[in-house]
A and B are shown apart, each in its own frame.
Chain A
Amino acid sequence: MKILTLWSLFSTYLLASSLNIENHAAQFFSSGHTNNWAVLVCTSRFWFNYRHVANTLSVYRSVKRLGIPDSHIVLMLADDMACNHRNPKPATVFSHKNMELNVYGDDVEVDYRGYEVTVENFLRVLTGRLPPSTPRSKRLLSDDRSNILIYLTGHGGNGFLKFQDSEEISNVELADAFEQMWQKRRYNELLFIIDTCQGASMYERFYSPNLMALASSQVGEDSLSHQPDLAIGVHLMDRYTFYLLEFLEDIHPASKTNMNDLFKVCPKSQCVSTPGHRTDLFLRDPGSVLITDFFGSVRKVEITMETINLTDPIEQVEQSPVNGELQKERNSYVDQLPVSEIIHQKPKQRDWHPPDGFILGLWTLILLVFFKTLAFQETAVGSKPPYRVQ
């Protein structure tokens, strides 16, 4: 009897622990992504749009703090605010008027800056269709197991976002770009956040699966800025991103906060506009999606106690000094301004090119005129009159 109870207890314990292990395993593989990328874009130029750069840099700061490395972040800033000559505190971008938080920091790497932030470059980064000489830091090298966070901020309207005061991107183009990314298997799940006026219009046209979108205001509403700083002279940040930054400052790499908390950031009382979100294209339940699935780069580690034997280190190939190979002549430094050499420099022999259109036309005209006058002279001098005088 006792043995039976002991056995039943033991078996239930085993069952419980195995379920626990299964739970752990399930949690381990629940999100389905293996790497994280972030594309953060600020689309506005000029000093009075300081707040848009501050928005993007605060999201950059949070994303870096939670673990995504610079090599996995594509940061696009359309203008330089930190070293702008109007900035009273150079190399800083502040988010709050008491100048507490310098979101620019000391370790920032901007991939696209100034005039490079265009609609074409943005779409090329998303779809991966970049010229072959583009360096790695400017590419979005995501695969089908990547979770991507895309953050856009700037001036926008109903169905478009303005880039640098000279061009726009429409919500249809954006939706098509995401569809291209889906078809090329460039993302596992994508979170799209936009902080502009009438931001909800930008995600209305999405039709690819696994997209979740957040916007700072509905169609017909304006997103407002937070507060100006009298020393710097401009508004420092937008309301939605300010409260988003406050929310993200409480997140650490091991926190279990989920998307439903993110949807509650900045209610109408604080934001004046109504933030919106769209989750119908997303396959998982937003309550089960962790914030760190998109904002952080949580590495799943497995601890093992086994010993692993490393192979022998690669032997450096012995490079015998090639002394006797060629007759080395004595090198010397070059004369920086060899005056006599320069004066007697022969002009470069330029290759002969066939004459281009203008010269050809001129010569044709000259030849035509020449032959015409020749023919005219001949008819005038030596030919018989066409009729005879009766």
Chain B
Amino acid sequence: MAGQKLCVCVCVCVCVWAVCPKDDFQEELVIRPLHSGDIYASFQFRTVWETDFTRGNKVSHYRLFPKSLGQVISKFSVRELHISFTQGYWRTMQWGQPFQPAPPGAELWVWFQDSVTDVDSTWKELTNVLSGIFCASLNFIDSTNTVQPSASFKPLGIGNVTDHRFLRYATLPREIVCTENLTPWKKLLPCGSKAGLAVLLKSEKLFHSSFHSQAVHIRPMCQDWECKTTSWELRQTLNVVFDLHTSAQGKREWSLFKMFSRTLTEACPLASSSKIYIDITDNPEQFEVSPATPLLSQASVLGDRRTFSVYDLTQQITFGTVRSLNLLIRWKSSEGDMLRPLLHGERYVAGYGLQTGEIHTLMYNYHPYRSFPVLLLDSVPWYLRLYIHTLTVTSKGKDNKPSYIHYQPSKDRVRPHLLEMLVQLPPNSVTEVTVQFERALLKWTEYTPDPNHGFYVGSSVISSLVPSIVAMDTNSTRERPLFSSFFPCKEESSYFVRVYTEPLLVNLPTPDFSMPYNVICLTCTVVAVGYGSLYNLLTRSFQIEEPNPGLAKRIANVIRKMRGVPPL
């Protein structure tokens, strides 16, 4: 009897404990010194929650997962959400490939669930709600800058159905990123900016950099190796590149204090793992790191096998006797070159005048003997009227016909151009895509308050599976550092990479906005002067008038009137 009772008690305990879905928080910082002397720091904060937003039941008990995002997911039936805010442009040839690529400005792409009936109105409401959460002007996303890619931007999370009707993609290249975007981003973290790695996120240092990108990625992922149940993953990433000359005064010596004006004192108490990785693949010939650590780890990321020193912040010995961690990275020599990235993209506008122009997109394949296919996505606003019959794709001087083209023409003031092409890049070559366009004249209320600045065209997206030198890790459930598990890897011989080109700034023919006022003034003056003169000529008549007599004469006249005698 007692044994049975004990059994029942234990069962009840286990059941009650299993009711609350488990959530887990990990934080990580990767520091990679770059060959130009700059330093690249990438923060990743990941919350994994074993719950189900898709089913009808409401989730009401939030612990580590932020409530504002959880409510957005369940209300708008979102399957995947990726939003990024970037200031600056990533220079692939000098810095290599980033861990999470992002275009300048704001970028938002969302996969909705199959249950959504009207995707466009849900998209509009979602952008408005996100603009309130992130203090950004995302409410400017409407049908004129939203596209529905047909082959790019496949879901990064798990899922079996990929009907592109449920995908929406939009960019705002003009969007400014500043502390007001960082503040709500930091408030989504479980520890806020009070403990753990988020203590380093001080806006005065982060925005005084060559590149700053913060992003939020939400996607469903496998819970275990069987992958029958899904859990939701929220990744908040922040990539920043500090410039050698502005932040380090030209000296090739970096430390946490120099980069962030803070040192670390503790890990976030809510985090199950809190680590710093420093890329020491080029150590010890190039630079030295102090304090030294015995922990080393190897990871194959972005097609290369890199070695990292690991600092585990959950262990108290990492902080040493001074109870604070300030990593120091000192260069010893500046020779050696980095691994050249295999894929690179550039874009510019050619032509002169304010009527026509030409967009040139260049895609570089630096692999010596392998060719690989790339998917190019171009979204051009409606006021640049593309002439698709002038589209040419040339590699090494010869015509290169794409194996897949999807073109959706624009409609004035309704939707932009969408051009997607699958192009095979020959080895060691440059592929050039050119298309001519004509500039439209906007209605005078459609101009921004500063139209002479120009109008932005969003970056092109080049997605590709690049052949890799080392074998990539395809086991997604093994414990790996966060930076190597962002893009899912299905085969060992290649890795997925997405490259963004520069945004374009084009001048549209701008009218002189003071002209209506000038014209009204001039016309009214001319009409008044002309009509007035004519009226005077026609209606003016002349009368003879006696001049006013002098004082003496007037007095004499008065006396004469009194006497009854006619006046002078």
Contact = CB atoms under 8 A, between A and B. Distances in A.
Interface string A306-350: 000000000010110100000011111111111100110100100
A380 to B, nearest CB: 43
Contacts of A316: 19-20, 61
Given A333-B157, A336-B487, A116 B207 contact: no
Chain A CB within 10 A, most for which of B18, B139, B177, B476: B139
Nearest to B162: A334
A335 B162 CA distance: 10
Interface string B145-167: 00000110011111110100000
Nearest to B488: A333
A108 B183 contact: yes
A116 B178 contact: no
A165 B160 CA distance: 52
Interface stretch (A33-41, A132-140, A141-149, A282-290): A132-140
A337 B463 CA distance: 8
A91 B19 contact: no
Contacts of B206: 91
B19 A115 contact: no
Nearest to A138: B132
B335 interface: no
A82 interface: yes
A134 B129 CA distance: 7
A354 to B, nearest CB: 17
A83 B177 CA distance: 7
A84 B469 CA distance: 41
A351 interface: no
B351 interface: no
B513 A166 contact: yes
Interface residues of B, number: 67
Given A135-B132, A333-B488, A337-B496, A109 B184 contact: yes
A233 interface: no
A328 B228 contact: yes
A328 B223 CA distance: 14
B464 A331 contact: no
Interface in B502-558: 513
B540 to A, nearest CB: 38
A45 B513 CA distance: 17
Interface string A179-223: 000000000000000000000000000000000000000000000
15 contacts: A82-B179, A90-B204, A106-B183, A109-B180, A109-B184, A133-B124, A133-B125, A135-B132, A137-B132, A318-B16, A321-B18, A334-B154, A337-B465, A339-B403, A343-B404
What 4 A-B pairs are tightest by C-beta distance, nearest first?
A135-B132, A83-B178, A333-B488, A133-B128
Interface of B: 15-16, 18-20, 57, 61, 87, 124-125, 128-129, 131-133, 135-137, 139-140, 150-151, 154-160, 162, 174, 176-180, 183-184, 202-204, 206-208, 222, 226-230, 373, 375, 403-404, 422, 448-450, 463-465, 476, 487-488, 490, 496, 513
Interface of A: 45-46, 80, 82-83, 89-92, 104-111, 113-116, 133-138, 164-166, 316, 318-319, 321, 328-339, 342-343, 345, 348
